[in-house]
């Protein structure tokens, strides 16, 4: 299967070849033909699967073929974070470089006036974070009444971040008749509810087995006392000569502190999180991509959507509270055929976070200790794993809420349930 077989315009093929893509990824193979046919699509795909191109390429093609000049946006992409929105925008720009579609991105944390000016000049594809979009709509600076295609990117994350009300408000500003695409890495009951509301007779395309981490990732748990973690991490980076690592902490404060401590130990590190200005975050990310810094310390929300190719090491300095976040985090490594390494530093107090992660993975992560460091005693009751390999086991999910997962602490867990299929629930397809 080639990009040509997918029916993509030669100018789009030229752009993807220029990016070095030789063949479409699974989600691209599955989703692009349906999107080109004008169908609503629910795409099960996480970052790293090529999902952005899976919607950006056909959306560009549809708009280009219509060749209709309009000042108002005709395609709207909603994304949960500024980083993801900026990245989706970059991809549209790159893929659409030989076409005539005008693309713009809008998100909060930066001056609104330049965004208003660009919107005034006319935009075909608008990539937006929900909050800033509603702000612009409230000022009558954007008119969404001509939107023909709506894309909800990382919809699961938007719900996790408490954007459901904003999404509903945006939906009310859109024309009833439109094509809808929804991408999500997970299928929680909340996502299914949203899908039922937004999608019309959708086709479901699934690119990665649900909640299954990248297969080419070596996962290791280092058991280490909490107060030794930072030294242990510095030791691993130096002794194993890691070229670069993306390190996750649970809190913004923890991210800052760790970046400072690593820098003191001679390892160039910077932190990105929600309290940093967009400019600072973009600069750190650019420096990391250019290999000017060796370690980027991030909270889950800030790291969401970051696209860094061939990242060799991802580190869980703190385990995430939500087991699915572990999958998202380690999905940052082992991409594009490379072998990745996901290292978790786990202290005694985190045992209760490790078990649900291993249940979700369906297997136990090998434990190791680091010579010269005090090991944590996280070994657990083998009975805890008894249901791990049960078919269709769904780990309980912590439901962190409204926008501040950066500071979240462990919350009571709620079991997932499988809702009954309704009439307009997405149906699976056996598309090639
Ligand atoms: P995404 O899942 O959209 O975040 O994409 C993850 C990475 O895969 C990005 O760096 C894309 O540039 C890259 N990518 C997307 N499609 C392909 C493809 N068909 N072949 C190789 N790389 C791709």
Q: What count of other Cβ atoms lies within 10 Å of the Cβ of residue 389?
A: 10
pLDDT in tens, 202-226: 998 987 544 455 566 889 999 999 9
* Torsion of Cα atoms, 297 then 299 then 304 then 307, to 10°: 0
For the residues 156-169, what does the mean pLDDT come to? Answer: 91
> Rounded distance, CA 422 to CA 367, Å?
43
- For residues 165 and 68, the model is more confident at 165
Which tokens in the block code for residue 37?
């046919």
pLDDT at residue 386 greater than cutoff 50: no
Q: Token pair 């752009």 is at which residue? A: 15
pLDDT for the residue 306: 66
Using DSSP bridges, classify how beta strands 427-428 and 203-206 pair: parallel, antiparallel or unpaired.
parallel
pTM above 0.85, yes or no: no
State the distance from the centre of ligand 1 to the C-alpha of 291, rounded, in angstroms.
Answer: 20
What pLDDT digit, counting tens, does each position of 399-428 carry? 333 332 322 222 333 333 333 333 443 333
Please check the confidence at residue 10 and state whether its pLDDT lies above 70: yes
pLDDT band of 88, cuts 50, 70, 90: very high
The pair of three-digit structure tokens given for residue 419, joined into one six-digit string: 């809702």
Does the C-beta of 309 come closer than 6 Å to ligand 1? yes
Per-residue pLDDT tens over the stretch 222-266: 999 999 999 999 999 999 999 899 999 999 899 999 999 999 999
85: number of Cβ within 10 Å = 23
Tell whether ligand 1 has an atom less than 6 A from the beta carbon of residue 25.
yes
- Which atom of ligand 1 is the closest one to the Cα of 52? 3
pLDDT at 152: 97
- Domains of the chain: residue spans and CATH: 4-206 (3.40.50.300), 217-385 (3.40.50.300)
Sign of the alpha-carbon torsion through 399, 402, 403, 406: negative
**Ligand 1 atom 1: residue of nearest CA:** 50
43 lines ligand 1 (CB under 6 A): no
Residue 28 CA, closest ligand 1 atom number: 19
């Amino acid at each position: 299967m080639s990009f040509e077989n997918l029916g993509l315009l030669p100018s789009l093929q030229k752009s993807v070849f220029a990016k070095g893509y030789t063949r479409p990824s699974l989600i691209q193979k599955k989703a692009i033909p349906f999107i080109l046919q004008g169908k609503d699509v629910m795409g099960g795909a996480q970052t790293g699967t090529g999902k952005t191109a899976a919607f950006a390429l056909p959306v560009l093609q549809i708009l280009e073929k219509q060749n209709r000049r309009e000042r108002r946006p005709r395609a709207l992409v909603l994304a949960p974070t500024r980083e993801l929105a900026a990245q989706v925008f970059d991809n549209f720009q790159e893929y659409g470089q030989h076409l005539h579609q005008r693309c713009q991105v809008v998100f909060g944390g930066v001056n609104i006036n330049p965004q208003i000016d660009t919107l005034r000049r006319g935009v075909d594809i608008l990539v937006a974070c929900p909050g800033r979009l509603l702000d612009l709509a409230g000022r009558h600076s954007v008119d969404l009444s001509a939107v023909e295609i709506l894309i909800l990117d990382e919809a699961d994350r938007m719900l996790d971040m408490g954007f459901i009300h904003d999404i509903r408000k945006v939906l009310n500003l859109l024309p009833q008749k439109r094509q809808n695409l929804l991408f999500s890495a997970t299928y929680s009951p909340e996502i299914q509810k949203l899908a039922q509301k937004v999608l019309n007779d959708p086709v479901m395309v699934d690119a990665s087995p649900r909640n299954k981490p990248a297969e080419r990732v070596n996962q290791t748990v280092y058991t280490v006392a909490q107060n030794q973690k930072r030294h242990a991490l510095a030791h691993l980076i130096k002794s194993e000569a890691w070229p670069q690592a993306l390190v996750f902490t649970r809190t913004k404060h923890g991210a800052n502190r760790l970046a400072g401590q690593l820098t003191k130990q001679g390892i160039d590190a910077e932190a990105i999180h929600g309290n940093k200005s967009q400019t600072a975050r973009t600069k750190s990310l650019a420096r990391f991509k250019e290999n000017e810094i060796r370690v980027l310390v991030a909270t889950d929300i800030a790291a969401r959507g970051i696209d860094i190719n061939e990242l060799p090491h991802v580190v869980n300095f703190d385990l995430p509270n939500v087991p699915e976040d572990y999958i998202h985090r380690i999905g940052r490594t082992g991409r594009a055929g490379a072998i990745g390494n996901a290292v978790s530093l786990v202290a005694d107090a985190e045992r209760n976070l490790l078990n649900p992660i291993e249940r979700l993975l369906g297997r136990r992560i090998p434990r190791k200790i680091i010579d010269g460091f005090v090991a944590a005693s996280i070994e657990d009751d083998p009975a805890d794993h008894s249901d791990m390999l049960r078919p269709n086991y769904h780990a309980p999910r912590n439901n962190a809420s409204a926008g501040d997962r950066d500071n979240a602490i462990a919350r009571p867990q709620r079991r997932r349930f499988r809702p009954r299929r309704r009439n307009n629930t997405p149906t699976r397809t056996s598309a090639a």
